[in-house]
Chains A and B, each alone.
Chain A
Amino acid sequence: MELRDRLLLCSLCPNMCRFACPMEEAAGTESSSPQGKSLTSLLLLEGVLPWTEENARPPYQCLNCQACRRFCPFDFDLSTLYHPARREAVRRGVLPQEVRSRLSSLREFGNPFGERTAREVGKGEVAYLPGCTVEFREREILSSTLLLLERAGIRAATLQGYCCGLPAFRMGDEEEAGRRLGELEVALRSSGARTLLLSCPGCFEFLSERLEGWRVVHLSTFLLELVEGGRLELPSLSGRITYHDPCSLGRKKGLFEPPRRLLHLLGLEVVEPPKTREEAVCCGGGNPLEEARMVSRRRAEELRGTGCELVVTACPTCKWVLEREGLRVLELSQLVGVRE
């Protein structure tokens, strides 16, 4: 079915997915509902709606979390439906202010945080891409992951200062995304590795669908393989924690079990939040719009409601975002790497 036909069907639908959209709940506006976003995207693309910063906002009011998909009678992936409107917004330079600022940072610095960094590529059997949140906001995850790889006897080539291209792609800037992806591929080749290991589920989702010739693996799966293969010993821990499913790892890639299995092997009791696994609510972290912050707050509130003092997740961005909302959060490698 043509893209515009899909947008049209969504525009005509009474939206049995509406309740599941965290951005609609946070923004509270009709144009941020799935129907509103589809209608706006369609009519912008058709030249019916004028391209203004305000009219260009609804297509960006999607977290790409796919929470709506389970309830869509047409099984649409709405995040892909809004992409062409975002691409056109970039081409025209008509962007919500937060998107404009993120893109300018991505184009100038290669990361959404506007941080300067030097590039570094090592050599090894496994290439490890920490990703922008780890490099600029969660350095401890870099240390704990490298320590685990060393303990398992793995020679890892760390790719520092590289971007997978996803942040630019999500904003509709395919050119910038392509450039970053191309640079990463060159670095990957020079590392000599055949496996690319990722901390970030977003990088994992994006690269596993684009890189050919490499095994692309998320840290949660990789660590579990090392443990089950006898190459890595786990500390023995105890206590109750709650686990937050990152959208790109769980709902989108179906990896609900590896992190839970690791937590179980560590000896921890996992208290599931009311919305978990397929239903887990996005942390709001990947989207620059102001209203995404409200999504983070609501998810943090729900996780707090479990009564657990510690939240564990398998995504550096989810960790960073949820900690910003006052929770104590650890990423998997930080737990697995604990010395008893």
Chain B
Amino acid sequence: MGSGGRERMRLPPPPRLPEAFLREAEGVVGREDLRTEEAELLSHSRDAWFLEGVRFLRGEPPVLPGAVAYPESTEEVSKLLRLCYLHGIPVVPYGGGTGVVGGALPCRGALVVDLKKMNRLLEVRGEDLLARVQAGMNGWRYEEELNRRGYTGGHIPQSLPSSTVGGWIAHRAAGQFSTRYGKIEDLVAGLEAVLPDGRIVRSRAVPRSATGPRLEQLMLGSEGTLGIVTEATLRIFPFPERRSFLSFLFPGVGEALEAARRILRRGFRPAVLRIYDEEEVGLHFRGMVEGGVLALFLLEGDRRMVEAEEEAVREECLGRGGRQAGEEPVRHWLKTRFDVHLAQEVLRGGGVVDTIEVAVLWSGAEELYRGVRESLGKMEGMVHVSGHFSHFYPEGVCLYLTFAGFPSDPEAFYWEAWGRVMRLTLERGGTISHHHGVGLVRARWMGEELGEFLSVLRQLKRALDPGNLLNPGKAGWGDGAQG
């Protein structure tokens, strides 16, 4: 028995890749950067997917890769992929390992290509508001470097302290400040990537181009199945001159959503806009505000724009039954926004806890929220269901759900909860993922989400990666995609 009442893990013998391959790979990255010791293999056998944590606690043998390579340049990534292509070795790209859908988990005997040694901010072009950065750069360090130079990247996902730029692109991420600055797809101006056969492809960093489909769009959300992103040119913004914090308590979710919809419709883009239902208010803002639905606003940018935005936010919120709740809830959110300890505690305590984010049009937002809450709430063993809305558009919104339970069969419970949310979202015309991606979790619903387009993606995958070597089994469009 291991600690915390969990089962002692049984470590399988590490898979051994062919000697000739290992020698050649060592020739590419050097001896120090090709690792086969168990500590490295094991560290790459995990990401932040909840079920992977459950399996770890159950002591299930982890799936170990065959080796880990740490390339330091695009050319090294290219040579590695070429080598894998020739030897038929599967490749799993790795960044910070913070994905929550199992996208970075290895298959047995794969070569993990960890980008963390490609971690430099290569260039900041103030006049053009662009930053060229290597894909393995840690998100927090990237933002910090920009801040020192008087800019912000505007991309602040909850995983910022641990995730990498390449991970954001591969998973089509969205940050907490995205309503103003855009999602990662809005921020990528140019890209460099290595294809499964080792070819290096680059797109120019330009404001816009009409020279056919863009490389960025192929790589954004490809989850490492079509290529490995090695470098990106991202849009940046002058560090905001002014910040303003506002919050309002509403009698219900409907009123808060309506106020938000009208603010967006008028053309305002609050950097942060979050609407928490009563359960989440109880969970995250206890003792600070009570009895209602809480809307947080963090406005930033040019002073005059912020002032105009403040006025519009007040107008719409007060006009829809909102009561001012002051700056404190926003400051509290800013201080605690990276705190993820509750999930770990529930997991360690033998419970099931996960979050699911979907996106839906305004016309179906409240109905979907009520529908999934009701459906999840009826499940046996469910102890907590809550939701907040976290990314806003003129046409709709992202609904972010949290559920927790202590069921007799955690895995069956987990998939049942996911299935209910996915089905209801699809029925109401929404999308099953707003920003966490597909990975292993959502693969089974991709047919319903994409329809015939899924077969186009499969054809594309086969054309670029005929051996199905790049992150095989992930994202729902490769051969043998798991679910």
Question: Chain A interface (Cβ within 8 Å of chain B)?
Answer: 2, 4-5, 7-9, 11-20, 25, 28-31, 33, 35-36, 39-40, 42-43, 46, 48-50, 52, 54-55, 57-58, 71, 73-74, 274
Give the residue of A4, A19, A30, A58 whose beta carbon is less than 8 angstroms from that of B97. Answer: A30
Check B171 for interface membership: any CB of A closer than 8 A. Answer: no
A19 to B144, CA, bound (A): 10
If A4-B3, A43-B9 touch, whether A73 touches B341 (CB-CB below 8 Å) is: yes
Chain B residues whose C-beta falls within 8 Å of the C-beta of A14 in the assembled complex: 48, 97-98, 159, 162, 340
User: Is B141 in contact with A25, judged by CB distance below 8 angstroms?
Assistant: yes
Contact flags B96-118 to A (C-beta < 8 A → 1, else 0): 11100000000000000010110
The closest CB in chain B to the CB of A49 belongs to: B38
Chain A residues whose C-beta falls within 8 Å of the C-beta of B144 in the assembled complex: 19
Chain B residues whose C-beta falls within 8 Å of the C-beta of A40 in the assembled complex: 39, 42-43
Give the residue of B37, B139, B160 whose beta carbon is less than 8 angstroms from that of A55. Answer: B37
Chain B residues whose C-beta falls within 8 Å of the C-beta of A49 in the assembled complex: 11, 38-39, 42
The total number of A-B Cβ pairs within 8 Å is: 126
Task: List the 3 shortest-distance A-B pairs measured between CB atoms, nearest first.
Answer: A4-B3, A73-B341, A19-B140
Distance of A177 from chain B, by nearest CB (Å): 26
The closest CB in chain A to the CB of B11 belongs to: A48
Give the residue of A5, A16, A39 whose beta carbon is less than 8 angstroms from that of B4. Answer: A5
Give the residue of A2, A20, A30 whose beta carbon is less than 8 angstroms from that of B40. Answer: A30
If A4-B2, A13-B344, A43-B9 touch, whether A36 touches B39 (CB-CB below 8 Å) is: yes
A30 to B56, CA, bound (A): 18
Give the residue of A2, A19, A36, A48 whose beta carbon is less than 8 angstroms from that of B43. Answer: A36
Instruction: List 10 A-B pairs, Cβ < 8 Å.
Output: A2-B4, A4-B4, A8-B6, A8-B348, A9-B345, A18-B96, A19-B162, A25-B141, A54-B37, A55-B38
Contact flags B169-192 to A (C-beta < 8 A → 1, else 0): 000000000000000000000000
Distance of A162 from chain B, by nearest CB (Å): 36
Check B468 for interface membership: any CB of A closer than 8 A. Answer: no
Distance of A319 from chain B, by nearest CB (Å): 26
User: Is B3 in contact with A42, judged by CB distance below 8 angstroms?
Assistant: yes
Check B339 for interface membership: any CB of A closer than 8 A. Answer: yes
Distance of B112 from chain A, by nearest CB (Å): 9
A191 to B139, CA, bound (A): 54
Chain B residues whose C-beta falls within 8 Å of the C-beta of A5 in the assembled complex: 3-4, 348
Contact flags B24-50 to A (C-beta < 8 A → 1, else 0): 000000000001011110111010100
Chain B residues whose C-beta falls within 8 Å of the C-beta of A46 in the assembled complex: 2-3, 8-9
Chain A residues whose C-beta falls within 8 Å of the C-beta of B116 in the assembled complex: 28-30
If A19-B161, A42-B3, A55-B37 touch, whether A28 touches B119 (CB-CB below 8 Å) is: yes
User: Is A12 in contact with B56, judged by CB distance below 8 angstroms?
Assistant: yes
Check B53 for interface membership: any CB of A closer than 8 A. Answer: yes
User: Is A71 in contact with B40, judged by CB distance below 8 angstroms?
Assistant: no
Check B403 for interface membership: any CB of A closer than 8 A. Answer: no
The closest CB in chain A to the CB of B40 belongs to: A31
Q: Give how many B residues have a beta carbon under 8 Å from the other chain's beta carbons.
A: 49
User: Is B138 in contact with A19, judged by CB distance below 8 angstroms?
Assistant: yes
Chain A residues whose C-beta falls within 8 Å of the C-beta of B341 in the assembled complex: 13, 73-74
Distance of A53 from chain B, by nearest CB (Å): 9
Check B70 for interface membership: any CB of A closer than 8 A. Answer: yes
User: Is A48 in contact with B348, judged by CB distance below 8 angstroms?
Assistant: no
User: Is B40 in contact with A29, judged by CB distance below 8 angstroms?
Assistant: yes
Distance of B55 from chain A, by nearest CB (Å): 12
Chain A residues whose C-beta falls within 8 Å of the C-beta of B96 in the assembled complex: 18
A36 to B81, CA, bound (A): 26
Given contacts A29-B114, A43-B11, 10 further A-B contacts (CB under 8 A): A14-B97, A14-B162, A17-B161, A19-B162, A40-B43, A46-B2, A46-B3, A49-B42, A57-B39, A274-B148
A9 to B341, CA, bound (A): 9
The closest CB in chain B to the CB of A18 belongs to: B162
Chain B residues whose C-beta falls within 8 Å of the C-beta of A54 in the assembled complex: 37, 39
Distance of A275 from chain B, by nearest CB (Å): 9
User: Is A18 in contact with B138, judged by CB distance below 8 angstroms?
Assistant: yes
Distance of B69 from chain A, by nearest CB (Å): 11
Check B347 for interface membership: any CB of A closer than 8 A. Answer: yes
Check B68 for interface membership: any CB of A closer than 8 A. Answer: yes
The closest CB in chain B to the CB of A41 belongs to: B39
Chain B residues whose C-beta falls within 8 Å of the C-beta of A52 in the assembled complex: 37-38
Give the residue of A11, A18, A30, A48 whose beta carbon is less than 8 angstroms from that of B161. Answer: A18
Contact flags B69-102 to A (C-beta < 8 A → 1, else 0): 0100000000000000000000000101110000
User: Is B140 in contact with A31, judged by CB distance below 8 angstroms?
Assistant: no
Distance of A272 from chain B, by nearest CB (Å): 13
A31 to B70, CA, bound (A): 12
A315 to B147, CA, bound (A): 30
The closest CB in chain B to the CB of A72 belongs to: B341
The closest CB in chain B to the CB of A68 belongs to: B161
User: Is B43 in contact with A33, judged by CB distance below 8 angstroms?
Assistant: yes
Check B338 for interface membership: any CB of A closer than 8 A. Answer: yes
Chain B residues whose C-beta falls within 8 Å of the C-beta of A11 in the assembled complex: 56
Chain B residues whose C-beta falls within 8 Å of the C-beta of A4 in the assembled complex: 2-4
Chain A residues whose C-beta falls within 8 Å of the C-beta of B38 in the assembled complex: 49-50, 52, 55
Chain B residues whose C-beta falls within 8 Å of the C-beta of A33 in the assembled complex: 43
User: Is A15 in contact with B162, judged by CB distance below 8 angstroms?
Assistant: yes
Contact flags B397-420 to A (C-beta < 8 A → 1, else 0): 000000000000000000000000
A20 to B141, CA, bound (A): 9
Give the residue of B70, B162, B340, B347 whose beta carbon is less than 8 angstroms from that of A28. Answer: B70
User: Is B344 in contact with A58, judged by CB distance below 8 angstroms?
Assistant: no
Chain A residues whose C-beta falls within 8 Å of the C-beta of B39 in the assembled complex: 31, 36, 40, 49, 54-55, 57-58
Distance of B277 from chain A, by nearest CB (Å): 23
Q: Which of A30, A35, A46, A50 has the most chain B CB within a 10 Å cutoff?
A: A30
Chain A residues whose C-beta falls within 8 Å of the C-beta of B8 in the assembled complex: 46, 48
Distance of B151 from chain A, by nearest CB (Å): 15
Distance of B53 from chain A, by nearest CB (Å): 5
Distance of A145 from chain B, by nearest CB (Å): 36
User: Is B97 in contact with A8, judged by CB distance below 8 angstroms?
Assistant: no
User: Is A7 in contact with B3, judged by CB distance below 8 angstroms?
Assistant: yes
Chain A residues whose C-beta falls within 8 Å of the C-beta of B136 in the assembled complex: 28
Chain B residues whose C-beta falls within 8 Å of the C-beta of A58 in the assembled complex: 39
A74 to B144, CA, bound (A): 24
User: Is B53 in contact with A16, judged by CB distance below 8 angstroms?
Assistant: no
Give the residue of A12, A18, A35, A55 whose beta carbon is less than 8 angstroms from that of B347. Answer: A12
Give the residue of B3, B6, B94, B344 whose beta carbon is less than 8 angstroms from that of A2. Answer: B3
Distance of A290 from chain B, by nearest CB (Å): 10
Chain B residues whose C-beta falls within 8 Å of the C-beta of A13 in the assembled complex: 340-341, 344
Distance of A7 from chain B, by nearest CB (Å): 7
In chain B, positions 199-244 with a C-beta closer than 8 Å to chain A are none
The closest CB in chain A to the CB of B142 belongs to: A19
User: Is A48 in contact with B68, judged by CB distance below 8 angstroms?
Assistant: no
A19 to B157, CA, bound (A): 14
A11 to B42, CA, bound (A): 11
User: Is A71 in contact with B11, judged by CB distance below 8 angstroms?
Assistant: no
A253 to B97, CA, bound (A): 33
User: Is A15 in contact with B161, judged by CB distance below 8 angstroms?
Assistant: yes
User: Is B117 in contact with A28, judged by CB distance below 8 angstroms?
Assistant: yes
Q: Which of B40, B56, B96 has the most chain A CB within a 10 Å cutoff?
A: B40
